[in-house]
């Protein structure tokens, strides 16, 4: 392999790795907080859509797909989902909304299902599917752009493809190792973190969609995460004096399935 081809491979690997990390992060938290069937269904649908788009349009994707518009729409939706989760997390940690007793809820739901002769099923959740789908589709399109532009510029599409594939394999392997420790995190805490992440990613992508050039580009994401952590922390401290013992009691087990996911 010539020096130029190695340069394309490394450049595609590094640029694609950033995009894969962003997409895999969303898929990971959907899988852990909702269920893996929903996360994988959304991912599979996005991959299928990408295969069709790339197969039909090829290099025309770079010219005709309005990526900024897609970034804006996906960003807004993720911000809305993230703020919904953050609102409940803030109220819970401030003591204004009851904390989930997930074990008690699970045991009561299982007892009710056994009494009806039903079996526990991890149903596909539309929210989880949509969140995974949008994230993987957006980041997948960006990877396609990276491969096409880098490969075309150096007349070495194959090198760019190999670089992107290597980045995908590495990110998935690292993510598989991280999955087990994350599953031991308390659900209330994990959903708070998910709200922070969805809001941060949504702000970042939505900003790109309206033409904002973030300082240091993707490296600005951790700054957004820290910003939202500080803001939510201050809101929790501000609201905590208004909590009452009654509002801080445990959730009643007889809630709906939708409330259990919130």
Whole-number pLDDT of residue 121: 52
**Structure-derived torsion over alpha carbons of residues 11, 16, 22, 26, reported in degrees to the nearest 10:** -160
Phi-psi label, residue 117: left if phi above 0, alpha if psi -120 to 50, beta otherwise: left
- Sole residue written with tokens 């991280």: 178
What's the CA gap between 255 and 67, in Å, rounded? Answer: 41
More confident residue, 23 or 154: 23
More confident residue, 111 or 251: 111
Segment 104-150, tens digit of pLDDT: 554 565 565 456 554 545 678 888 888 889 889 888 888 887 787 67
Mean pLDDT confidence for 227-254: 75
Mean pLDDT confidence for 198-225: 85
Please report, for the chain, how many H helices and E strands are present, in that order.
10, 0
CB contact at 8 A, 204 and 221? yes
CB contact at 8 A, 244 and 117? no
Mean pLDDT confidence for 171-179: 80
What's the CA gap between 130 and 127, in Å, rounded? Answer: 5
CA 189 to chain centre: 16
């Amino acid at each position: 392999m010539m020096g130029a081809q190695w340069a394309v491979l490394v450049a595609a690997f590094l640029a694609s790795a950033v995009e894969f990390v962003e997409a895999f992060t969303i898929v990971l938290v959907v899988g852990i907080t909702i269920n893996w069937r929903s996360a994988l269904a959304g991912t599979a649908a996005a991959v299928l859509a990408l295969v069709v788009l790339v197969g039909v349009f090829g290099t025309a994707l770079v010219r005709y797909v309005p990526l900024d518009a897609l970034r804006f729409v996906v960003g807004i939706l993720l911000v809305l989902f993230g703020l919904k989760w953050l609102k409940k997390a803030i109220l819970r940690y401030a003591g204004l909304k009851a904390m989930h007793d997930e074990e008690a809820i699970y045991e009561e739901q299982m007892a009710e299902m056994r009494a009806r002769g039903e079996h526990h099923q991890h149903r596909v959740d539309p929210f989880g599917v949509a969140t995974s789908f949008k994230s993987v589709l957006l980041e997948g399109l960006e990877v396609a752009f990276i491969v096409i532009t880098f490969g075309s510029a150096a007349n070495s599409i194959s090198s760019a493809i190999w670089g992107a594939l290597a980045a995908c394999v590495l990110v998935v392997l690292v993510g598989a190792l991280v999955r087990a420790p994350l599953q031991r995190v308390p659900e209330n805490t994990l959903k708070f973190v998910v709200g922070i992440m969805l809001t941060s990613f949504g702000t970042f992508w939505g900003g790109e969609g309206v033409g904002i050039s973030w300082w240091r580009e993707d490296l600005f994401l951790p700054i957004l995460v820290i910003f939202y952590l500080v803001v939510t922390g201050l809101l929790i401290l501000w609201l905590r004096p208004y909590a009452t013992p009654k509002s801080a009691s445990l959730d009643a087990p007889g809630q709906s399935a939708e409330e259990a996911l919130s």
